[in-house]
Structure formats: structure tokens, C-alpha cells
Amino acid sequence: RKEVEQDPGPFNVPEGATVAFNCTYSNSASQSFFWYRQDCRKEPKLLMSVYSSGNEDGRFTAQLNRASQYISLLIRDSKLSDSATYLCVVSLAYSGAGSYQLTFGKGTKLSVIP
Amino acid sequence: DVKVTQSSRYLVKRTGEKVFLECVQDMDHENMFWYRQDPGLGLRLIYFSYDVKMKEKGDIPEGYSVSREKKERFSLILESASTNQTSMYLCASRSSWLDNEKLFFGSGTQLSVL
């Protein structure tokens, strides 16, 4: 069973649409959760952390459901510039000296079309 | 902002060559990581280091070694490059403070082994 699973997509949506991505994780002891964004041929960058109570940053909303072991990312009013691959990241294990090892999902590709 | 610099953007090597990939960060981060990213497989952790001269194997360490002689520099070594090590290599760094798990990535090195 994969540790972190995402629907690979691609999700092709028109500008202005609302799109949601889900991610499931297998280890119930997982500590922290994140969404990273990766543009084509670029490095991943942190989009937002995911908190137990859910959190919002502008058009982006992240939710965590510990009971069902999934996290979600909702993008409202999609822009062309939102086109990217979105990576679900889970902190799974304490590796020593204050370091938590992160595991990445394979990513969900989003294309926003005019 | 944090800067993580990888020495080469593109590299072409021959089978059997010894290859050094260098990564330098300028924010005094304790933790540094090497990932490889392949289509359909996502990011996979090769090695990480949580302090100078400290290293731990990630998920796919076979065929690789690392060196962390100075805090700002983390080197990935392919002792004898093989064609299946053709990949995008991404270095990342992070503070070890528990409330700051944000990873900063370098722009990547696309390695081709012929």
C-alpha cells in the first residue's frame, strides 16, 4: 500500500472553476501535512500547511480528516497561473535531531484553460 | 529568502563515471536532503543529513553516497553512474525547529547517463 496517494489527473478546468484535489495517507501516526506546488520544469515550493481545523489562504482552502486519513485542497476561481502539479506531502516519522521525514505524493496535474 | 544552489542545471555523464552533485544553502539550515524525481514515480528520498557529518539513508540509497563536511554543503555522489540513474535530482534544506518544516528546494540537476 502506497504511503501517500493522489489522483494523478490531469485535471483540465476552465478559468473561474472550482477544483478539488484529495490525497490519502496510510500511516495513522502521521504528524504534519502540506501542499506543495511544482511548475513545469521547476522545483517544488510550499503552497500551504494543512492544519487540523482546516485553513484558508485566499482562493485556496486545505482540509484534514484524520479519521479517514485524507487531506484536500480546494481552489476557487481558478486562474491560468494556477496550472501546475500539486504535491501532497506528509510528515511520517521522526528521524532524529528534530528532523521529520517528509513523504511526497506523486502529484496531481492541473491545467486551467481559457 | 533562502537560497539553495545546485552546481549544475544539466549534466551528461557516461556509464561508470564517478559523478558529484553539489548543493549549497545559505540559511544555516541543519537538515539537507537529496531527492530524485522521475515521471510517474514522484519525488523519492535518496539520503538526508540532519547535521554536519551526519547522514541517514532514505528510501532509495543504493548506488549513491553523500558527504556533509560543512553545514552549508551537501554532496551527492554516484560512485559508478548507470543509465538507470538518469533523472532529475533535487536538493532541499530545512531548519530543524519543529515548528518550521518548510522545505526549500534547489532548481534541480537533470542528469543524463549515457
* Confidence at A53, pLDDT banded by 50, 70, 90: confident
Average pLDDT score over chain A: 90
Question: Grid coordinates standing for B107?
Answer: 532548481
Question: Grid coordinates standing for B38?
Answer: 522521475
Residue contact A43–B98, C-beta within 8 A: no
Tell me, yes or no, if B53 comes closer than 8 A to chain A by beta carbon.
no
* Confidence at A8, pLDDT banded by 50, 70, 90: confident
* Residue among B31, B40, B43 whose CB faces A104 most closely: B43
- Angle (CA) A82 A70 A20, round 5°: 30
* Confidence at A24, pLDDT banded by 50, 70, 90: very high
> How far off is chain A from B49, nearest CA to CA, in Å?
9
User: Contacts of residue A34 in chain B, CB cutoff 8 Å?
Assistant: 101
Chain-centroid distance of CA A103 in Å reads: 12
**B97, B6, B38: which is closest to A99 by C-alpha?**
B97
Q: Mutating which of A48, A51, A99, A103 best tests the B interface, going by the most B Cβ atoms within 10 A?
A: A99
DSSP state letter for A26: S
Measured distance CA(B64)–CA(A95) in Å, rounded: 20
* Confidence at A100, pLDDT banded by 50, 70, 90: low
Q: Residue B85 carries which side chain, given as an amino acid letter?
A: Q
Residue with cell 502506497: A2
What is the mean pLDDT of the segment spanning B41-68? 93
User: Contacts of residue B97 in chain A, CB cutoff 8 Å?
Assistant: 98
Q: For residue B68, what are the contacts with CB-CB under 8 A and spacing of at least 6? A: B32, B49, B51, B52, B53, B54, B55, B74, B75
Helix (H) or strand (E) segment spanning residue A108? strand A108-113
pLDDT attached to residue B17: 97
Average pLDDT score over chain B: 92
Whether A34 and B43 have beta carbons less than 8 Å apart is answered as no
> How far off is chain B from A100, nearest CA to CA, in Å?
8
Measured distance CA(A105)–CA(A37) in Å, rounded: 12
In this structure, of A32-41, B23-32, B94-103, the range with the lowest mean pLDDT score is: B94-103
State in Å, rounded, how far the first CA of chain A is from the last one.
38
Q: Residue A69 carries which side chain, given as an amino acid letter?
A: Q
Measured distance CA(B86)–CA(B48) in Å, rounded: 20
In this structure, of A37-46, A84-93, B82-91, the range with the lowest mean pLDDT score is: A84-93
Could you tell me which residues are beta bridge partners of residue B64?
B78
Q: Residue B21 carries which side chain, given as an amino acid letter?
A: L
Measured distance CA(A71)–CA(A75) in Å, rounded: 14
Per residue in A26-43, pLDDT (tens digit) is: 988 887 899 999 999 899
User: Contacts of residue B90 in chain A, CB cutoff 8 Å?
Assistant: 43-44
